[in-house]
Structure formats: C-alpha cells, structure tokens
Amino acid sequence: MTDAAPRTALVLVNLGTPAAPTPRDVRRYLSEFLHDHRVVDLSRWLWCPLLHFVILPVRGKPVAKKYASIWMDGVDGGSPLAVYTRRLARAVQAQMPDVRVVEAMRYGKPALRSVLDSLRADGIERIAVLPLYPQYSTSTTGAVTDVVAAASPDARVVEQYHLDAGWVDAVAATVRSARAGFGGERHLLFSFHGLPERFIRRGDPYQQQCEASAAAIAASLGLGRAQWTIAYQSQFGREKWIGPSTQATLREFAARGVFDVDVVAPGFAVDCLETLEEVGEMLAHEFAQAGGRMNYVPCLNDSAEHARVLADIARRALA
Ligand SMILES: C=CC1=C(C)c2cc3[nH]c(cc4nc(cc5[nH]c(cc1n2)c(C)c5CCC(=O)O)C(CCC(=O)O)=C4C)c(C)c3C=C
Ligand SMILES: [Fe+2]
Ligand SMILES: [Fe+2]
C-alpha cells in the first residue's frame, strides 16, 4: 500500500436485496426494484396499481419466507447476495492495494448513488464501476449506467465480461472441482436468469451473451455439444420470457432418464435467492422427486480466483 490515500476507486455493483427477511423489508426492496423503468417499462397508470395493490401485498410474505430459508447467520451475516458481495469487495481490495475498492447496490443499501457521491467528496479522481453482471442487459447493467451517468459521468463502466478468458476458466474450474467426486456420465445445465422476450426483440444482447458464455465455458471443459444445455430461470409475471425454462428442462431430463445433472449459474456473480432457494432448494427437490440427482455448483462468490479475475478486468478498465 502506498502512503498516500488512493485517488482511484473501484465500485463493485450488485442488484440489491432486502435488509431483513421480513415481509416489510421484502416489499420495500421489491418496490424500489420494480419501480425502475429499466426493469418494468409498462405505463405507470397500468403498473402502479398492479404493483401496489397486487404484487407487493401478495409477494411480501411468501418471498420473505424464501429469504429466511437462505439467510446467513452471524455478526457478518445477512442476505447471501449482500454477504458475498461485501466479502468479494474485501477480496478484490486485497488484490488492488492502491485502489479503494467498495461495494454498492443498485436497489437498497449501500446505494450506488450515495457511494459515488461520497467517493467524489473524498477527493477520488478516477472511478471504475464494475456491475457484477457478466452478461449485459438493459434491465441490469443499463440500470447501473443510468445512475453512473447522473452521479459521476466520467466514471468508466465495465459493461460486460461474458467472454473474459480468466472468468471463463474460473467458472470452468468450479464445475471441474464440483464434478470431481462423481464418476460416470454427467450432464451440465447452464441456468441463467431469464428476461422477457420483448427485451431481446428490442436489441438486448443478453441472450446471445449467455449462449456465448456457456459455449466458452463448455469448450474450456472440453465438453461435446450433447453434454450441456442452456436454460433460463426466475420467470416473473405473465409475459413470455426467453426459454427454455430451467424447471421445464429438468422435468424433461427426468422424463428422458437424464438423472445425473450438474447445474451452474454463470449469470450470477454470487449466490443469492435465485440460485440457493430456487435452484438449490426448490428445483433440486423437484428433480429428486422425479428420480434425479442434481449437483448445484456454487457461484464464484468471494473466492480468491474470482477476486483475481475481477481485479484484472478492473485494472484494464482503469488503464
Ligand atoms: C420484470 C422483472 C425482472 C427482470 C426483467 C429481471 C431481470 C434480471 N434479474 C437478474 C438478477 C437477479 N434477480 C433477482 C431477484 C429478482 N428478480 C425479479 C424480477 C426481474 N428480474 C424479482 C421480482 C426478484 C426478487 C425475488 C422475487 O420476488 O422473486 C436476484 C436475487 C436478489 C436477491 O436478493 O438474492 C438477482 C441476482 C438478472 C441478471 C436479470 C436480467 C438479465
Ligand atoms: Fe408506484
Ligand atoms: Fe431478477
């Protein structure tokens, strides 16, 4: 570490998550998230009544229960997305002693807008913003760039890293080590967060980038095309989302007798509700009921390898 205070900062940004696994905090979080036009672009005349009178009241309690099932204990505990993001920022800081590394959330706290304002107030001159979304979507990365453009327009935003060689190899390595204890023929299922098809029709590159990431990770693992499949999870609402869905794919696997499946979720930098509860608990249970054995491969989380990969990406952005 140099003696002088760093003049450069790196902000790792994640989606955000409720402060506590209670219906009130879940509603507060969902309200901020689902009011963003980048996420739901319906007319507010239509969307606000639906959101305030149906979605938030109906979703608060059951979604809080799901968060409670994955909540991490201890003084440094909390929602996995928040805990792993905080730990990841510390691990990246250890890789970049001359840069101030901080974490921020697009929705909830620590709010991206106030993190950027306080870096400026502290005399930081150069800022790189790294949204923790390997694949670009207007609904996620685009929502981060909105805040950066308003608060700190000269900051450099890393818009995607879906084909970064270090990242591809790091994800492949987690799959390899998760498979180490198993013998025999296994199938690899890549499960990415879904998106309404409408976004793709309007030019969002997300799905194409997910496909490119999966193909690159499979190539790094030396898998043939018949040994892996892509699917999309976490559909929300009635609109048509990109598919096939992870749930339908697992049901089809069971029907075809494909019972030994590793599931990896390379669209998620850290584990969260959608990976731990939806895939690791709900879908794993459903697959087991159908006779299958799912091995969920954890996200890169706060591993040293993840920190090294992100530090390399950030250094290039700051160069
Ligand atoms: C229209 C709604 C949604 C879009 C579009 C969407 C895109 C999207 N989301 C992620 C990553 C995450 N989403 C998470 C939770 C989550 N997502 C939605 C809705 C949309 N997502 C909701 C309503 C929720 C909350 C849970 C629920 O009520 O079911 C999370 C996890 C957050 C956590 O606290 O753990 C992540 C991460 C991506 C990458 C993406 C587009 C590509
Ligand atoms: Fe509203
Ligand atoms: Fe989402």
Which residue, chain included where needed, has tokens 């963003």? 36
Region 143-157 average pLDDT:
97
Cβ of residue 17 lying under 6 Å from some atom of ligand 1: yes
CA 62 to ligand 1 center in whole angstroms: 16
Whole-number pLDDT of residue 19: 98
DSSP letter (8 states) at residue 143: H
If you average pLDDT over residues 280-295, what whole number do you get? 98
Give residues whose Cβ lies within 5 Å of ion ligand 2. 48
Q: What is the pLDDT of residue 5?
A: 79
3-state SS, residue 193:
strand
Residue 1 has a pLDDT of 45
CA 233 to centroid of ligand 3, rounded, Å: 9
Higher pLDDT, 142 or 183: 142
pLDDT digits 0-9 by tens, 193-246:
999 999 999 999 999 999 999 999 999 999 999 999 999 999 999 999 999 999
What global pTM score does this model have? 0.97
The tens digit of pLDDT for each residue in 7-44 reads 999 999 999 999 999 999 999 999 999 999 999 999 99
**CB of residue 232 inside a 6 A radius of ligand 1:** no
Atom number, ligand 1, closest to the C-alpha of residue 196: 5
- What token pair was written down for 319? 């160069």
**The pLDDT of residue 3:** 52
Cis peptide before 23 (omega within 30 of 0): no
Check residue 6 and give its pLDDT: 82
Q: Which two tokens stand for residue 250?
A: 């697992």
> Could you tell me the domains of the chain?
8-162+303-318 (3.40.50.1400), 165-297 (3.40.50.1400)
Note whether 214 and 163 are within 8 A (CB).
Answer: no
Q: Does ligand 1 have an atom closer than 6 angstroms to the CB of 59?
A: yes
Report which of 204, 209, 193, 232 is spatially closest to residue 137, judged by C-alpha positions. Answer: 204
